[in-house]
Chain A
Amino acid sequence: MYVLIIGAGKVGWNLARELIDKRHEVTVIESDPSRFGMVEEELEHSAQYGDGSELWVLERAGIERADLVLAVTGDDEDNILISQVAREKYGVARIVARCNNPRNLQHFELLGVKPVISATDLILRLIEHEVPKYGLLHLLDLPEERLEIIELEVADGSEAAGRKVKELGLPDGSLVISILRDGGGFVPTGDSIVQAGDEVLLVLDVGIESRVTERFTNRSSAAA
């Protein structure tokens, strides 16, 4: 596979190393001269100097025959533009873009750039995961498939606490896929009992989230 990486920061450089180790053909483009010098010393001909948002630089690096383009510079506007051009002008089949500021994710989305990886967003999710008192955590959104996977904590005194999975009264289009308890997890059957304090993973159709979460929250304490 021929992989073109734009941006030889920590992300781009390490990706290049790993992919070369896996015997892929790699070119990494870097626009900062001193950074380029360091990278070239190690990666030799796999490193090219230039502004990866300039079309001729991309063409010189052979973007037309790239199987995969990784737009991983430190600037979101550059990553958006490179991804857009790679897909729409050069017809690259697979593109992965890095989003530095999670607030810019919506711009990537608006301009049809996907998939997008945001380290900040990933770390934030992990932090939320570690914080004991959260309501709901979005683990994965599948916008095309119109599905989402969420994680909920079962509140004491909620409708769900103490009930069997099949008696939870969940709306159609939702399914409990696992229950996390005491540091472990299992895939439940309809007869598994949900306990207060459990964390429950569900897959659901987009748009029914609130009807699902109300089963797991304690409405009397929420009202108070």
Chain B
Amino acid sequence: MFVLIVGSGRVGSAIANSMLAEGHEVSVLDEDPEAIALLDRGQLETWEERGGRYTVGTALELDALLAAGIEEADAFVASTDGDNTNLVIAQIAKRRFNVERVVVRVLDPARARWYAEQGLQTVCPTQTAIELLEAAVRGQIRFEGVSG
């Protein structure tokens, strides 16, 4: 499938690299031309040598989304560092471009919950951390090293 990832931070770049390694077509959009470095970290070949696409542009600009290939995307990941940006672009991907699978990262649990209720597939790292930490404190779960 063709995956478009907007926001090449820690989260976005990690998803991009796994998807590319699994043989998917992957395009990354970020406003920072330097953010491509995260995609190359720990890799033998550069992102582009491995066949990844990288576009520099602002997520809210339609031209940037089009250049990054949103019209062909089967899956869309909104993983910029702004909750509101992610929520807006995820809705654009869904409603305007009819991308089949749209996933959005939202740090604020309250906004994540409400938008999930409206039908957006929302991942809230804060909520996940709260639940894991609570379970670990109660002794309900136990993990060695880093969770996951």
Residues of A in contact with B (beta carbons under 8 Å apart): 53-56, 75-78, 80-81, 85, 88-89, 101, 103-104, 106-107, 110-111
Contact = CB atoms under 8 A, between A and B. Distances in A.
Contacts of A101: 60
Contacts of B110: 54-56
Given A53-B84, A85-B114, A110 B91 contact: yes
Nearest to B80: A77
B116 interface: no
Contacts of B83: 53
A111 B84 contact: no
B114 A111 contact: no
B111 A55 contact: yes
Given A81-B84, A89-B114, 19 more contacts: A53-B83, A53-B84, A54-B110, A75-B84, A76-B60, A77-B84, A77-B85, A77-B87, A78-B84, A80-B84, A80-B88, A81-B87, A85-B111, A88-B118, A101-B60, A103-B61, A107-B60, A107-B92, A110-B96
Contacts of B91: 110-111
Contacts of B95: 110-111
A72 B95 CA distance: 24
A81 B114 contact: no
A93 B108 CA distance: 26
A53 B111 contact: yes
A83 to B, nearest CB: 11
A77 B60 CA distance: 8
Secondary structure type dominating chain A contacts? helix
A102 B99 CA distance: 25
A121 to B, nearest CB: 16
26 contacts: A53-B84, A54-B108, A54-B110, A55-B110, A55-B111, A77-B60, A77-B84, A77-B85, A77-B87, A77-B88, A78-B84, A80-B84, A80-B88, A81-B87, A81-B88, A81-B111, A88-B118, A101-B60, A103-B62, A106-B62, A107-B92, A110-B91, A110-B92, A110-B96, A111-B88, A111-B95
Contacts of A107: 60, 88, 92
A190 B1 CA distance: 63
Contacts of B92: 107, 110
A104 B60 contact: yes
A103 B92 CA distance: 14
A56 B60 CA distance: 26
A142 to B, nearest CB: 23
What 10 pairs between A and B have smallest CB-CB spacing? Answer: A77-B84, A81-B84, A55-B110, A77-B88, A77-B85, A78-B84, A80-B88, A53-B84, A110-B96, A81-B87
Instruction: Find the residue from A53, A55, A81 having the highest chain B CB count within 10 A.
Output: A81
Contacts of A106: 62
B82 interface: yes
